[in-house]
């Protein structure tokens, strides 16, 4: 049996519009071993959620291969993929994604039923045990609206764990929680990894979560690294500034401010704005215009 829970080989994701191709993932190579708690750190827009969707078979890569628990899921039919996802992959989302009109117990039972290998009685027994493991014994018959955010996320974790998947994928699992609930959920995640040996991959922008990891990856601009990228956001800002002709953006902003000034004066003449508000707006606007003109003259 493979010791790799998840393998991505030269994975690309390219979105096409009418006029261009936009590469979101650019040749991702990633291996997560069984029993690891891997964190993928990245800012918004870095491609981390797309990466997680492809790793879990929710999206197809444009090219490359995705292997989960030793099974290449890249070219499976939707029917085969649905069964593989039900048995091999657990998902935990920031927004919980619980079915509102099902109880906590029924929510945890659902992926077990979808696998096609458990009876209703077996699914119910497993779901009860999973809710007990995540500390929700006695809450089985409650609906999501009757549970706190932290409790709902624990139901989501129990649901993800129930089919004993090869890997659990978590997308910003504490993003919707307060600090206390987030701490409880993360403590549970760490315990499940250590006590159960459950393989877990978390994508996040929160550096505090990275402290839990057995291994941390970093994603920037659709590429993945095992060391933090040396180019910082401040460096990028300097690059953009250096590539822009001196005063070019300031001139554009000055033009916009002058248009706003004309619009304010027109609104005042038509009685659409009170003299008091107009006076304050004009003083602020004129000061900004003066600063920009001085800057451009340098």
Q: CA separation (Å) from 8 to 33, 59, 109, 254? A: 12, 13, 30, 49
Rg (CA), the chain: 26
Query: Under a CB-based contact definition with an 8 Å cutoff, are residues 51 and 32 in contact?
Result: no
Q: CA separation (Å) from 145 to 7, 107, 210, 296? A: 37, 13, 30, 57
Residue 93's region, left for phi above 0, alpha for psi from -120 to 50, else beta, is beta
Same domain, 175 and 265: no
Same domain, 156 and 277: no
Residue 57 lies in a domain: yes
Strand partners, 87: none
Residue 47 lies in a domain: yes
Q: pLDDT tens digit string along 44-96?
A: 888 998 999 999 999 999 999 999 988 999 989 988 888 888 888 999 988 88
- Two structure tokens written together for 190: 């760490």
Same domain, 196 and 68: yes
Residue scoring higher pLDDT (249 or 280): 280
Quote the CA–CA distance of 236 and 159 in Å, as a whole number.
Answer: 41
Q: Is the pLDDT of residue 251 over 80?
A: no
Q: What CATH number did the domain enclosing 209 receive?
A: 3.40.50.300
Residue 237 lies in a domain: no
- Two structure tokens written together for 292: 């920009």
Say if residue 256 is exposed, middle or buried (CB neighbours under 10 Å; 0-12, 13-18, 19+): exposed
Q: What is the pLDDT of residue 232?
A: 53
Q: Is the pLDDT of residue 233 over 70?
A: no
Q: Find the mean pLDDT for residues 238-266.
A: 70
Same domain, 87 and 225: yes
Last residue of a domain, one of 231, 263, 280: 231
Q: CA separation (Å) from 271 to 118, 209, 258, 274? A: 72, 55, 20, 7
Same domain, 248 and 179: no
Q: What is the pLDDT of residue 1?
A: 44
Q: Is the pLDDT of residue 9 over 90?
A: yes
Q: Find the mean pLDDT for residues 175-203.
A: 88
Residue 140 lies in a domain: yes
Query: Under a CB-based contact definition with an 8 Å cutoff, are residues 268 and 259 in contact?
Result: no
Same domain, 261 and 153: no
Percent of the chain with pLDDT over 90: 44
Last residue of a domain, one of 204, 231, 258: 231
Same domain, 250 and 218: no
Q: What is the pLDDT of residue 89?
A: 92
Q: What is the mean pLDDT of the chain?
A: 86
Q: What is the pLDDT of residue 247?
A: 61
Q: Is the pLDDT of residue 142 over 90?
A: yes
Q: What is the pLDDT of residue 22?
A: 92
Domain count, the chain: 2
Identify the domain containing residue 287 by its residue range.
Answer: 244-297
Residue 103 lies in a domain: yes
Q: In the structure, what pLDDT confidence band is assigned to residue 244 with cuts at 50, 70 and 90?
A: very low
Last residue of a domain, one of 183, 205, 231: 231
Q: Is the pLDDT of residue 155 over 60?
A: yes
Query: Under a CB-based contact definition with an 8 Å cutoff, are residues 13 and 59 in contact?
Result: yes
Q: What is the pLDDT of residue 285?
A: 80
The SS3 assignment for 76 reads coil
Same domain, 188 and 76: yes
Same domain, 89 and 182: yes
Q: Is the pLDDT of residue 254 over 80?
A: no
Closest residue by Cα to residue 68 from 114, 32, 111: 32
Residue 239 lies in a domain: no
Residues whose CB is less than 8 angstroms from the CB of residue 212 and which lie 6 or more positions away in sequence, other chains included: 37, 39, 186, 189, 190, 193, 202
Residue 290 lies in a domain: yes
Same domain, 86 and 114: yes
Same domain, 262 and 176: no
The SS3 assignment for 158 reads helix
Residue 271's region, left for phi above 0, alpha for psi from -120 to 50, else beta, is left
**What pTM value is reported for the model?**
0.75
Same domain, 29 and 173: yes
Q: What is the pLDDT of residue 268?
A: 81
Q: What is the pLDDT of residue 212?
A: 86
Residue 238 lies in a domain: no
Q: Is the pLDDT of residue 242 over 90?
A: no
């Amino acid at each position: 049996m493979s010791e790799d829970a998840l393998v991505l080989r030269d994975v690309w994701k390219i979105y096409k519009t009418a006029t261009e191709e936009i590469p979101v993932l650019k040749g991702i190579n990633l291996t997560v071993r069984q029993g690891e708690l891997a964190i993928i750190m990245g800012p918004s827009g870095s491609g981390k959620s797309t990466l997680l969707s492809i790793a879990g078979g929710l999206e197809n890569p444009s090219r490359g291969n995705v292997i989960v628990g030793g099974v290449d899921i890249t070219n499976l039919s939707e029917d085969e993929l649905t069964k593989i996802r039900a048995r091999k992959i657990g998902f935990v989302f920031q927004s919980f994604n619980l079915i509102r009109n099902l109880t906590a117990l029924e929510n945890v039972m659902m992926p077990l039923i979808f696998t096609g290998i458990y009876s209703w009685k077996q699914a119910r027994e497993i779901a009860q045990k999973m809710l007990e493991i995540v500390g929700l014994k006695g809450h089985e018959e409650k609906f999501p609206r009757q549970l706190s955010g932290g409790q709902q996320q624990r139901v989501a974790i129990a649901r993800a764990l129930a089919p004993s998947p090869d890997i659990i994928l978590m997308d910003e699992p504490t993003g919707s929680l307060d600090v206390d609930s987030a701490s409880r959920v993360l403590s549970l995640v760490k315990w499940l990894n250590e006590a159960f040996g459950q393989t877990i991959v978390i994508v996040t922008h929160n550096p505090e979560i990275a402290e839990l990891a057995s291994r941390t990856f970093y994603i920037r601009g659709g590429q993945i690294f095992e060391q933090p990228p040396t180019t910082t956001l401040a460096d990028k800002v300097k690059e953009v500034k250096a590539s822009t002709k001196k005063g070019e953006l300031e001139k554009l902003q000055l033009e916009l401010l002058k248009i706003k000034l004309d619009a304010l004066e027109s609104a005042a003449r038509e009685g659409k704005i009170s003299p008091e508000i107009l006076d304050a707006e004009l003083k602020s606007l004129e000061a900004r215009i003066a600063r920009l003109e001085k800057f451009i003259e340098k």
